[in-house]
Amino acid sequence: MEKLLVINCGSSSLKYEVYAMPERMSLGKGLVERIGASVGNITQKSGNGVFETEEPLPDHDAAMALVKRALTDAGNGILKSIDEITGVGHRTVHGGEDYASSVIIDDDVIDAIIRNSDLAPLHNPANLTGIKAAIEMLPGVTQVAVFDTAFHQTLSPASYLYGLPRELYTKYKIRRYGFHGTSHRYVSSEAVKLMKRSPENTNVISCHLGNGASITAIKQGKSVETSMGFTPLEGLVMGTRSGDLDPAIILFLLDKGYSKEDINRMINKEGGLLGLSGISNDMRDIHKAADQGNVDAQETLEVFAHKIRQYIGAYSANMIKVDALIFTGGIGENDTRMRQRICRRLQNIGIVMDDEKNQSNGSRPGIVSRDYSPVTIIVMPTNEELQIAIDTYELISQEQQVNKGFMAEAIL
């Protein structure tokens, strides 16, 4: 049994989970918050109980030291010794065009993460900080980078190029990258297993719907279309992100006296469900207001569903044949009413929901389409941490096999 640590490091937070592999069993997980503040806190939950404490956390090294203490706590820890960890998998947002799969971290990988930080300035530096802190805490232990963008490196130029002067692509690498790749890869693989099919003859459309939302078309196991673009702002209406915009709106607002910072805040933090409804970025609050007759909330629900239907229709046309439509993410997994609203007008392209199955299924993995529906509708909870653990385990196993080969050659 390998015990692997999965880390998702943000600028002021650090999520982690320990997995037993290949059993794919979570042994416990935790969250460190308010890193860099005067007082930070940690909450860790496992079968051994809950570890909680507050203390100064000036930086990520201090946060990682606290994680080590929580993991090995005599009363409520997950491990007897930190030496039980044989590999660490890191969620890393942007690999640019450098990586199309997860990789063992070395100096070249670190250089690539730094090089692509211009493309993800809020994420890559924080991810790298977590990587360096983990290397410091676990010297000699294999560290793996799992890139959000890697799954979408199979997009064709027709999918990833923008209608801009080509020099902007060659000089600055302005193109569609796509995100949520780890989630889309995980749920599409699990959905294919649920259908008892092979990825090689199955086409799916995966809808990751949460505060961040994206849709990906997956043909024979490979991403061929995705809604997020150069940044996670493009595509669907999200919790606070606007999604697709006529770019001339930005120029118009600049002429009206809005600053670059004003516009950036509006389209990233004040738009989406929050901006349209004027109520909340939480779909539950919007449903409640809509039920009470709030017209803005009612329109917001339909804008959200309408945009998703547009993408589903476009991707269906480009793929020609679709075998499954997947719902995942906080909204996709839990909001039965929104799933129903989205599918309401898709019967003409072979997507026929069974409303009773949809209502009774809730957030469990399951099929919610009619038996005669040409396209199978599946609810599949995502688990990005598990996918990171799977990738890490596979790479460590490959590394071990290579090392055994070298040893065998040396003996001979």
* Structural contact between residues 101 and 18, judged by C-beta atoms closer than 8 angstroms: no
DSSP secondary structure letter of residue 293:
T
pLDDT digits (tens, 9 = 90+) for 195-226: 999 999 999 999 999 999 999 999 999 999 99
Segments of the chain with pLDDT less than 70: 403-412
Burial classification of residue 15, based on how many CB atoms lie within 10 Å of its CB (0-12 exposed, 13-18 middle, 19 or more buried): middle
pLDDT for the residue numbered 400? 77
pLDDT for the residue numbered 412? 58
Distance separating alpha carbons of residues 371 and 204, to the nearest angstrom: 17
State the catalytic residues: 148
> What's the pTM value of the predicted model, to 2 decimals?
0.92
pLDDT for the residue numbered 362? 80
Q: What is the DSSP string of 44-107?
A: EEETTEEEEEEE---SHHHHHHHHHHHHT-TTT-S-S-GGGEEEEEEEE---TTT-SS-EE--H
The tokens describing 346, both together, are 């898709």
CB hemisphere CA count around 386 (13 angstroms): 16
pLDDT for the residue numbered 330? 94
DSSP secondary structure letter of residue 344:
T
